Chain A
């Protein structure tokens, strides 16, 4: 038996052990109907933050002044589209793992039981310090 054939079943076994340790988790999704209520008159030619600077200034500023705001990780990465029923006012953490995939493994620890990314990383602000912007205070 060559090495490759031997390694594949071993690998699958290791992977299955990994799965057995994972937490069961179902994402929290907002209803599309709520979207219609909240955004029935939304002007989609502008960006989300174009309106939300004024509509939800605290949330906007928390995002804008955080690393995700500085790096242009915009609203729909977490909240989804304003049409089509995929919008979520309280998004799950799917969007996080696109970049922070390696952190998925740290979710598989007793400390993280019952927690999500947002338990430690406040929504919108997400990361505590931005220092690259001129005038920013660490």
Chain B
């Protein structure tokens, strides 16, 4: 990075001078440096925290980034964010289209490549129907890009086979919010961190996966020594460094632990009876037809002692965590990610976290909220909210609901009945349909399923045999190597669009530089495809800004309503939390809360209204403990889990193209507990072969007592050592999210 102190001084002086004197039209104008440098307002490309930053441009190239002190991250960036300029000029950047000829990917013109895509898709649709094709998108795509794809496929081609990688990471969180409150997306916000007295961090290595949020928790704890942190994680991750209580347990037993926490909260009368009577209903299965008494009876068997025996932690730890969570007058905030979501009981696990907040009434007040942390920068804004999944339509509408289809058909100005009533294939089934041949053509945008799918060996074969188009920034990746057409996509600062992060904050990423080589924004590529397939009238857009204007018409009169977030406002502000239904609405920090959420009447008799449910009551669900799909057994006696490290992100296509990161924790290492290492006679640096019922891979060993006996951890970022050859593709029956986090393996020294 070529940022000298002098450069920073110069731009800081310019920015501060201008900030003092005026309301210039755009931020770029306001902070343009006198030497032709510009600092363009944007958002980090990596995780779902959505840190604001400025992109420094000199001579048409990005030379630096710096944190946006006026955004929620207060100017801080994590070490990946620092290095973002390198991803733009990486040696692996694809600069022109490729098509496969005689088994080899060779250079082609845009017209030749797009002509081939249109020809193959048209042929498949004509011969086999619209459901013979599909789209697989990403929580990293811009909102406008996902929107255009969704409209093209669902209203143009008329298939609901529109999926995205958020199915692999956030679907269970969605299921939890929808089943408990009736609406997706968290009700709280990052500011709650500044008010919480207790943090319950479950299945989240926040320190490495959401470093800026972790830093905010640290700050809260440093300034308020009485603040407690409880970390539930089988591994002693860096997050556990700030834990007052780290509860390690056998993977897959946390539902019992959380139910036991509820048991203690009831036993010790830490509940909020008024809140329970006023705001809650109770349910089991799919029906909210149970009672408070049923719930009490359900919890009776979940004693701390029983949960401890099942999970391998101590009963005292469960009791302590429960007392801290339920302490009278204290604010409690929970956070979680893939440890809960990537499970065959992921939705249930989410429900149980919500239960804790509901029975204690610790929700909807500053510092008391259940906040699911998102993994990708636009999984929420683009895919979840925008309806970019096979069962969804934009802004909370469902494919299966006739009135929802009708509403979208009217807004899209397409004939009634255009949108097919049957939901399309969810991600795992979509790739299984490639395998069976039911889906002939797949369009992949901004994601890397050839590395990231669970049980990936099986699906790599399916991708190889079908006609697959991959719109991607880099080549080769483990997906482009299987593709028939690879389209060079513009990256991050080379295009403009909106990201929506964990806390419902929508932010505009402005274009800072021109796309590299022949690459194009996915928005342009998709509009081109639409025209070639005969659906140009559906996609008449000249710019992403025009797409956004149309999006504003779709969110209107929905619980998402952000019609106040005009493009001009997004340019001016540093992110706004929806709902924001009017230009002068400040945004909503806490949903369902009177005086904050515009959909709760000012004269509502209670401080909170769960308007997502027809009766206004959130549901406490009776969810029993159940084992994972593949627990350890005599044949496969070790548990295998995967996750992230701070230096890398997802399949590493970006971070492994950064010089400093390429040699920092880039190789997937098998982290093994010393007792296991001793039993298996391996030491740090040795190689082991890890085998599951699906596949095997070799990894170097790191012996560390931060691991748990009987558990092996491997990070997911290595494109040469594929942990997903081993993981299981069993899915949650509700969310359809795979259980990446737990499977059974054998380990042998090689």
Q: Are A98 and B659 in contact (CB under 8 A)?
A: no
Task: Please give me the 7 A-B residue pairs with the lowest Cβ-Cβ distance, nearest first.
Answer: A18-B13, A14-B17, A15-B14, A44-B663, A45-B667, A76-B660, A132-B221
A112 CA / B183 CA spacing, docked (Å): 54
A100 CA / B69 CA spacing, docked (Å): 9
Selected interface stretch from B4-12, B290-298, B519-527? B4-12
Shortest CB–CB separation between residue B601 and chain A, in angstroms? 41
Q: Is A99 an interface residue (CB 8 A)?
A: yes
With contacts A76-B660, A134-B243 taken as known, whether A24 is within 8 angstroms of B65 at the C-beta atoms is: no
Specify the chain A residue showing the minimal Cβ separation from B217: A132
Q: Are B243 and A11 in contact (CB under 8 A)?
A: no
Q: Is B22 an interface residue (CB 8 A)?
A: yes
Please indicate which of the listed interface residues B1, B33, B65, B222 has the most CB atoms of chain A within 10 Å of its own CB.
Answer: B222
Shortest CB–CB separation between residue A98 and chain B, in angstroms? 5
Partner of A74, one of B77, B79, B241, B244: B79
Chain A interface size band reads 35 or more
Residues of A9-31 at the interface with B, using a CB-CB cut-off of 8 Å, are 10-12, 14-19, 21-27
Q: Is A40 an interface residue (CB 8 A)?
A: no
With contacts A14-B14, A70-B241, A71-B211 taken as known, whether A99 is within 8 angstroms of B76 at the C-beta atoms is: yes
Q: Is B207 an interface residue (CB 8 A)?
A: yes
Q: Are A10 and B10 in contact (CB under 8 A)?
A: no
With a cutoff of 8 Å between Cβ atoms, the chain A residues found around residue B78 in the complex are: 72-73
Q: Is B75 an interface residue (CB 8 A)?
A: yes
Residues of B262-282 at the interface with A, using a CB-CB cut-off of 8 Å, are none
* 20 additional A-B residue pairs with CB within 8 Å, beyond A21-B13, A101-B12: A4-B29, A14-B18, A18-B14, A18-B16, A18-B17, A70-B241, A70-B242, A74-B646, A98-B3, A98-B66, A99-B67, A99-B77, A100-B75, A101-B66, A101-B75, A104-B9, A104-B12, A105-B16, A107-B5, A134-B243
With a cutoff of 8 Å between Cβ atoms, the chain B residues found around residue A50 in the complex are: 702
Q: Are B207 and A72 in contact (CB under 8 A)?
A: yes
With a cutoff of 8 Å between Cβ atoms, the chain B residues found around residue A133 in the complex are: 241-242
With contacts A8-B24, A14-B21 taken as known, whether A98 is within 8 angstroms of B77 at the C-beta atoms is: yes
Q: Are B663 and A99 in contact (CB under 8 A)?
A: no
Residues of B11-35 at the interface with A, using a CB-CB cut-off of 8 Å, are 12-14, 16-18, 20-22, 24-25, 29-30, 33-34
With a cutoff of 8 Å between Cβ atoms, the chain A residues found around residue B29 in the complex are: 4, 8
Specify the chain A residue showing the minimal Cβ separation from B73: A99
Shortest CB–CB separation between residue B15 and chain A, in angstroms? 8
Please indicate which of the listed interface residues A11, A93, A105 has the most CB atoms of chain B within 10 Å of its own CB.
Answer: A11
With contacts A72-B79, A81-B659, A133-B242 taken as known, whether A46 is within 8 angstroms of B702 at the C-beta atoms is: yes
Partner of A11, one of B21, B81, B211: B21
Partner of B9, one of A46, A107, A132: A107
Q: Is B539 an interface residue (CB 8 A)?
A: no
Q: Is A7 an interface residue (CB 8 A)?
A: yes
Q: List 5 A-B contacts (CB under 8 A).
A: A16-B34, A44-B664, A83-B662, A84-B659, A94-B5
Shortest CB–CB separation between residue B462 and chain A, in angstroms? 32
Q: Is B599 an interface residue (CB 8 A)?
A: no
A71 CA / B13 CA spacing, docked (Å): 29
Q: Are B24 and A71 in contact (CB under 8 A)?
A: no
Q: Is A34 an interface residue (CB 8 A)?
A: no
A19 CA / B10 CA spacing, docked (Å): 5
Q: Is A62 an interface residue (CB 8 A)?
A: no
Q: Are B34 and A72 in contact (CB under 8 A)?
A: no
Q: Is B238 an interface residue (CB 8 A)?
A: yes
Q: Are B207 and A18 in contact (CB under 8 A)?
A: no
Partner of A22, one of B10, B33, B217: B10
Residues of B638-660 at the interface with A, using a CB-CB cut-off of 8 Å, are 646-647, 659-660
Q: Are A47 and B208 in contact (CB under 8 A)?
A: no
Specify the chain A residue showing the minimal Cβ separation from B223: A131
Q: Is B400 an interface residue (CB 8 A)?
A: no
Q: Are B8 and A97 in contact (CB under 8 A)?
A: yes
Q: Is B636 an interface residue (CB 8 A)?
A: no
Partner of B1, one of A26, A43, A83, A94: A94
With a cutoff of 8 Å between Cβ atoms, the chain A residues found around residue B65 in the complex are: 98
Specify the chain B residue showing the minimal Cβ separation from A97: B8
Partner of A102, one of B75, B243, B660: B75
With a cutoff of 8 Å between Cβ atoms, the chain A residues found around residue B3 in the complex are: 94, 97-98
Partner of B666, one of A10, A45, A98, A102: A45
Shortest CB–CB separation between residue B386 and chain A, in angstroms? 31
Q: Is B225 an interface residue (CB 8 A)?
A: yes
Q: Bits for A32-69, please: 1 = Cβ < 8 Å to B, else 0.
A: 00000000000111111010000000000000000100
Q: Bits for A99-137, please: 1 = Cβ < 8 Å to B, else 0.
A: 111101101100000000000000000000111111000
